[in-house]
């Protein structure tokens, strides 16, 4: 018997498009979508003085890169942030449905958690603060705060207009399923993580678990998985 998924892309899209049913765009450069977590656009990461006033000590650029044709941005250099006492992380994610954003979930979640534990605000941004950065914040809320994905999406959407692309929403649904199934490990049960071919999306989630929970370096985790199954990014 095919079990019903815990959430679906269409369900999440409906939450993001509430209440008008059509995509709306943020009216502010950044918004505090969860205590200490700010979601914003490129402009929100450019004003060091304002970041300091907001107690933002960690900045994650989810669109880090120089290829403007792919909507990649580098607002300030890592050195400029460092000189101002701000910890920076750049993730070179492309806003495409086929992009394996889940390969960055573990890194992003750890970075956000580190900033909050340090008592600092964390700004997660991309070009518009709608898709890539929003998906990473949702991954954090599901993985670290224990929110169900629908609840996490409602929380963020109530504070900022967001709409991750359908590929990212699917990867978040898979993360949500995986985290719920992970409880089986503590009861001595095996956990199957799968996608259509078992080489990209599901592999990314397994790697994220090994890095986050088993504290393996990403290279070692990759070698461990590849020694037992072929995998590749898409």
> Distance (Å, rounded) from C-alpha 70 to C-alpha 12?
25
The H-assigned helical ranges of 94-230 are 105-117, 132-143, 149-157, 166-181, 183-186, 201-212, 218-226
Residue 181 tokens, joined: 């199934």
Residues whose CB falls within 8 Å of the CB of residue 185, separated by 6 or more in sequence, listed in order:
191
15 sits in which H/E element: helix 9-16
Question: At which residue do the structure tokens 């900045």 appear?
Answer: 59
89: helix, coil or strand? strand
- Catalytic, 7? Answer no
The 3-class SS string of 53-64 reads HCCEEEEEECEE
Taking the C-alpha atoms of residue 52 and residue 108, their distance in angstroms, rounded to an integer, is: 21
3-state secondary structure of 220: helix
Q: Which listed residue (7, 16, 30, 126) is catalytic?
A: 126
Q: Dihedral through CA 203, CA 133, CA 160, CA 26, nearest 10?
A: -130
Distance separating alpha carbons of residues 19 and 13, to the nearest angstrom: 11
Kindly list the catalytic residues: 126
């Amino acid at each position: 018997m095919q079990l019903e998924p815990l959430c679906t892309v269409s369900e999440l899209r409906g939450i993001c498009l509430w209440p008008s049913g059509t995509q709306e765009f943020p009216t502010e450069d950044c918004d505090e979508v969860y205590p200490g977590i700010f979601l914003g656009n490129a402009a929100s990461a450019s004003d060091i003085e304002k970041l300091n006033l907001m107690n933002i000590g960690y900045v994650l650029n989810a669109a880090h890169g120089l290829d403007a044709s792919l909507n990649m941005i580098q607002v300030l250099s890592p050195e400029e942030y460092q000189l101002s006492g701000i910890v920076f992380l750049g993730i070179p994610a492309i806003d495409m449905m086929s992009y394996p954003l889940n390969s960055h979930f573990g890194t992003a979640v750890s970075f956000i958690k580190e900033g909050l534990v340090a008592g600092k605000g964390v700004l997660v941004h991309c070009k518009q603060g709608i898709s890539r950065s929003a998906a990473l914040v949702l991954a954090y809320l599901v993985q670290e705060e224990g929110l169900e994905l629908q609840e996490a999406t409602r929380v963020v959407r109530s504070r900022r207009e967001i709409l991750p692309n359908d590929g990212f929403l699917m990867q978040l649904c898979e993360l949500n399923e995986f985290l719920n199934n992970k409880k089986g490990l503590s009861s001595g049960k095996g956990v199957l993580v799968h996608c259509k071919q078992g080489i990209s999306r599901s592999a990314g989630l397994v790697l994220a678990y090994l890095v986050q929970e088993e504290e393996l370096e990403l290279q070692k985790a990759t070698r461990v998985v590849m020694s037992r199954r072929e995998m590749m990014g898409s």
